[in-house]
Structure 1
Amino acid sequence: MKRILPFSLLALAAILALVIPSSEVINNPENSIDTGDTAWLLMSAALVLLMTPGLAFFYGGMVRKKNVISTMLQSFVCMGLITIIWVIFGFSLAFGDDIGGIIGNPSTFFMMNGMIGNAVWPGMPTVPIALFAMFQLKFAVITPALITGAFAERIKFNSYLIFITLFVILIYAPLAHATWHPEGILAKMGVLDFAGGTVVHMSAGWAALASALYLGKRKVQEHTPARISYVILGTGLLWFGWFGFNAGSAGSAGTLAASAFATTTTASAAAAIAWIFFDILKGKKPSAMGACIGAVVGLVAITPAAGFVSIPHSLIIGVVTAVISNLVVIWRTKKGIDDTLDVFPCHGVGGMVGMVLTSVFAHSNINGVVTVNGLFFGETGLFTAHLIALVGASAFAFLGSLLLLKVTDLLAPLRVSVEEEDLGLDASQHDEEL
Structure 2
Amino acid sequence: MANDLTYPQLFVLAHRHRHLLGMGPARLVGRPRRYGLCRWHSRARCERRRCRRRDYGSSDHTPHNVSFVFLGLALLWFGWFGFNGGSGLAANARSVQAIINTHMAGCIGGITWILIDWYRTRKWSIVGLCTGAVAGLATITPGAGYVSASSALAFGFLGAVVCNIGVACKRRYGFDDALDVFAVHYIGGFVGLLITGVFAEQAIISLSYNPGDVVPIGGWLDGHYMQVPIQLTAIVTVSAWSFFVTYGILWIMDKIPGLRLRLREDEEELGTDLAQMGEHAYGFTLETTICRHRSRETLVDSTRRGATPSEVEDAAPVSEKVMDDRPEAQFKEDPFSI
Normalised to the residue count of structure 1, the TM-score between the two structures is 0.58
- Native 8 Å contact 1:360 1:374 kept in 2: yes
Alignment-mate amino acid for residue 174 of structure 1? P
In the alignment, is residue 211 of structure 1 matched against residue 211 of structure 2? no
Structure 1 residues 335 and 366, CA gap change in structure 2 (3 angstroms): same
Matches within 5 A, 1:2-401: 166-171=1-6, 173-186=7-20, 188-194=25-31, 198-215=32-49, 216-221=51-56, 222-368=60-206, 371-401=216-246
Alignment partners' CA distance in 2, 1:292 and 1:426: 25
SS of 1:426's equivalent in the other structure is helix
Point out which structure has higher relative CO (alpha carbons under 8 A, 6+ apart): 1
Shift of residue 175 of structure 1?
3.1
- Native 8 Å contact 1:179 1:199 kept in 2: no
- Native 8 Å contact 1:272 1:322 kept in 2: yes
What is the aligned partner in structure 1 of residue 313 from structure 2?
none
Shift of residue 389 of structure 1?
0.6
Shift of residue 184 of structure 1?
4.4
Give CA-to-partner distance per residue, 1:83-127, whole Å, 9 cap, x none. Answer: xxxxxxxxxxxxxxxxxxxxxxxxxxxxxxxxxxxxxxxxxxxxx
RMSD: 1.9
Alignment-mate amino acid for residue 192 of structure 1? V
Give CA-to-partner distance per residue, 1:330-374, whole Å, 9 cap, x none. Answer: 112222110111100100000000001111100110013762321
Alignment partners' CA distance in 2, 1:284 and 1:341: 24
Superposed structure 1 runs of 4+ greater than 3 Å apart: 179-189
Give CA-to-partner distance per residue, 1:290-348, whole Å, 9 cap, x none. Answer: 00001011111111111100000000110011000100111122221101111001000
SS of 2:262's equivalent in the other structure is coil
Q: Name the count of aligned residue pairs.
A: 265
The percent identity for this pair of structures is 35
In the alignment, is residue 402 of structure 1 matched against residue 240 of structure 2? no
Alignment-mate amino acid for residue 364 of structure 1? Q
Alignment partners' CA distance in 2, 1:413 and 1:252: 43
What is the aligned partner in structure 2 of residue 426 from structure 1?
273
Alignment partners' CA distance in 2, 1:387 and 1:180: 13
Alignment-mate amino acid for residue 38 of structure 2? A
Give CA-to-partner distance per residue, 1:125-173, whole Å, 9 cap, x none. Answer: xxxxxxxxxxxxxxxxxxxxxxxxxxxxxxxxxxxxxxxxx212222x3
- Native 8 Å contact 2:10 2:238 kept in 1: no
Structure 1 residues 189 and 405, CA gap change in structure 2 (3 angstroms): farther
Larger Rg: 2
Shift of residue 403 of structure 1?
2.0
5+ residue gaps in structure 2? 210-214, 282-338
Alignment partners' CA distance in 1, 2:37 and 2:142: 13
